[in-house]
A and B are shown apart, each in its own frame.
Chain A
Amino acid sequence: MSSQPRTLQILNFVSGLLLAAAAWMSLGYAPTERVMGAVQRVFYFHVATAWVGMLGFIVAAVAGVIFLVTGNLKWDKIGLAAVEISLAFFFIAIVLGSIWARPIWGTWWTWEPRLTTAAILEMVYLAYLLLRQGVEDPERRARFGAVYTLLGGISVPVTFVSIRLFRTIHPVVIMGGNPNAQGGFSMETSMLQTMLFCIFAFSVIFVTLFWHRLRLGDLAEKVEQLKLKLIQ
């Protein structure tokens, strides 16, 4: 427990390399987009961080269900770790999106379905963390957390559909097109390569952070137990 396992040490190193390579690919390798110019390069990290954010929330919802079925507290730790990491990555995705939107849409923020849903998603998981803070019994905290991630996991897609019934201006680059979208573009091969590489790099970074967060959870639990022993 005291020192990091060998695989994790390697992962640390690989994650650093991948991050540097992803930065080089999106800033240097990919061509400058003709209409939008340099600001379009934000897109690669935006998509990759948003992907990691979604991945974590799906992991959290699945871990919640497994916890409710099995009652094994290990799944609660997995859920919490996933939510915390995703919260950070989703926030980065929103900030990067804003940086891109300012010159392209002419505004930092607009109440468009994806943006609104992203904001609500962040609120759901902030509420999740607040709820956990307010419950002391670990077993009950885990149950409440699992129930709430489940509720959130189902309500967020419904929220997206409900807001989608309005008009949307978010460009859909990957699947199909939307005639009302502003700032869409078609990707060259090297752009596609860069995007896929960034997604891959951030997925590896996610795994590394996830592992660290799980270790942190175990250590925190150990400290908790040692404290209890001291009191007794």
Chain B
Amino acid sequence: MDNKRPSSSYFQAVLAVAWKDLAAELRSRELLSAMLVFALLVILIFNFSLELDKEARENVTAGVLWTTFAFAGTLGLNRSMAVEKDRGCLDGLLLAPVDRSAIYFGKAISNLAFMLLVEIIVLPVYSILYTSVSTMRLFTPAFLGVTLLGSIGYVAVGTLLASMAVQSRTRDVMLPILLFPVIVPVLVASVQASRAILQALEMSEVMAWVNLLIVYDVIFIALAFMVFDYVVEE
């Protein structure tokens, strides 16, 4: 970190790491298909466990969707880091002459891309399976914006914790245990904002939660940027 590199090479490194993941995924489609099938299964289970009839749907749609995203998200985060660890790719990445936070941002961007892809497919499927007045609002810019903000916060913390979890002995079970207690604000704010949008409440009710999401995103991206070095240090 002593010798300053031009900033353009930093962004190139970030994009290179992200592109590496996306290209590998484009060829194998392992991760995305697993996340998608899992997400659809979670929705299926909710259908039986909550009896999503017309009235129930109006109230729980936001909660069901965010629970699904959170569960499918851990699957993706775990896998994307486990691949790096298993084949020794992480060591290779760490040897690269770039600032290590570039690796973090690259991984975070590819994880975010996977998560958004899953969400983009799950939302229409959900609205077809559970047609109602409120599910028509799943595709308003406000709802998609909240989904994006929530996903950013989730992935920002998730990528950092996943890189810790894969280095521990009990790595497969570690990530959700580490992630869920610290992600509560994101889930609360996302669910509340989504619900307010779906029930067509006033914009001021939504904005309080959106502000909270923005604050969370900024704080935790900055924090992850500062501490990622300590997580991958050998």
A155 to B168, CA, bound (A): 22
The secondary-structure label for the interface of chain B is helix
Q: Is A5 an interface residue (CB 8 A)?
A: no
* A163-B189 Cα distance, complex, nearest whole Å: 9
Given contacts A127-B181, A143-B233, A158-B215, contact A134 B208 (CB under 8 A): no
Which of chain B's residues has its CB closest to A136's CB? B169
**Chain B 182-234 residues near chain A, CB threshold 8 A:** 182-185, 188-189, 192, 208-209, 212, 215-216, 219-220, 223, 227, 230-231, 233
Chain B residues positioned under 8 Å from A162 (CB to CB): 184-185, 188-189, 212
Q: Type the 1/0 row for A157-169, where 1 means its CB is closer than 8 Å to any CB of B.
A: 0110111010000
Q: Does the CB pair B171–A134 fall under 8 Å?
A: yes
* Residues on A with beta carbons closer than 8 Å to the beta carbon of B231: 143-144, 147
Kindly identify which residue among A134, A143, A152, A159 contacts B170, using a CB–CB cutoff of 8 Å. A134
Closest A residue to B224 by beta carbon equals A151
Question: Which A residues, 179 to 215, have Cβ-Cβ distances below 8 Å to chain B?
Answer: none
Is the pair A131, B182 in contact by a Cβ cutoff of 8 Å? no
Known: A162-B184, A163-B188, A165-B208. A150 touches B227 (CB 8 A): yes
Residues of the A chain whose Cβ atoms lie less than 8 Å from the Cβ of B212: 158, 161-162, 165
**In A118-144, which residues have CB < 8 Å from any B CB?**
120, 123-124, 127, 130-131, 133-136, 140, 143-144
A117 closest partner in B (C-beta)? B184
* Residue A146 at the chain B interface, CB threshold 8 Å: yes
Q: Is the CB of B188 within 8 A of A131?
A: no
Inter-chain contacts of B171 with A (CB < 8 A) = 134
Judge whether A134 and B168 touch: CB under 8 Å. Answer: yes
The interface residues of chain B lying within 8 Å CB-to-CB of A152 are: 181-182
Q: How far is the CA of A58 from the CA of B19 in the complex (A)?
A: 40
Query: Is there a chain B Cβ closer than 8 Å to A38's Cβ?
Result: no
Q: Is the CB of B188 within 8 A of A151?
A: no
A109 to B161, CA, bound (A): 31
Q: Roughly how many angstroms separate A134 CA and B178 CA in the complex, as a whole number?
A: 12
What is the predominant secondary structure among interface residues of chain A facing chain B? helix
Chain A interfacial residues counted at CB < 8 A: 28
Q: Which one of B169, B174, B181, B230 lies within 8 Å of A120 (CB-CB)? A: B181
- Contact assessment for B185 and A135 in the assembled complex, using a CB-CB cutoff below 8 Å: no
Asked whether A159 lies within 8 Å of B185 as measured between CB atoms, the reply is yes
- A133 CA / B174 CA spacing, docked (Å): 11
Query: Is B52 interfacial (CB-CB < 8 Å)?
Result: no
Q: A19 interface residue, CB < 8 Å from B?
A: no
Q: Given A144, A151, A165, which contacts B182 in the complex, CB threshold below 8 Å?
A: A151
Q: Which residues of B contact A161 (CB under 8 A)?
A: 185, 212
* Interchain nearest-CB distance for B119 vs A (Å): 21
* Complex CA–CA separation, A155 to B180 (angstroms): 11
CB distance from A20 to the nearest CB of B (A): 37
With the chains together, A140 CA to B167 CA distance in Å? Answer: 9
* Across-interface contacts of A134 in B (CB, < 8 A): 168-171, 174
Kindly state whether residue A54 has any CB partner on chain B within 8 Å: no
> A136-B169, A143-B231, A162-B184 in contact; A131/B178 too (CB < 8 A)?
yes
Interface residue ranges, A against B (CB under 8 Å): 68, 120, 123-124, 127, 130-131, 133-136, 140, 143-144, 146-148, 150-152, 154-155, 158-159, 161-163, 165
A-B residue pairs, 4 tightest by C-beta: A134-B168, A155-B182, A123-B181, A162-B185
- Besides A130-B170, A161-B185, 4 more A-B contacts (Cβ < 8 Å) are A131-B164, A144-B167, A151-B223, A155-B184
A-B contact pairs, 29 of them (CB 8 A): A123-B181, A127-B178, A127-B181, A130-B174, A133-B169, A133-B170, A134-B169, A134-B170, A135-B167, A140-B233, A143-B233, A147-B160, A147-B227, A147-B231, A148-B178, A150-B227, A151-B223, A152-B182, A154-B220, A155-B157, A155-B181, A155-B220, A158-B212, A158-B215, A161-B185, A162-B188, A163-B188, A165-B208, A165-B212
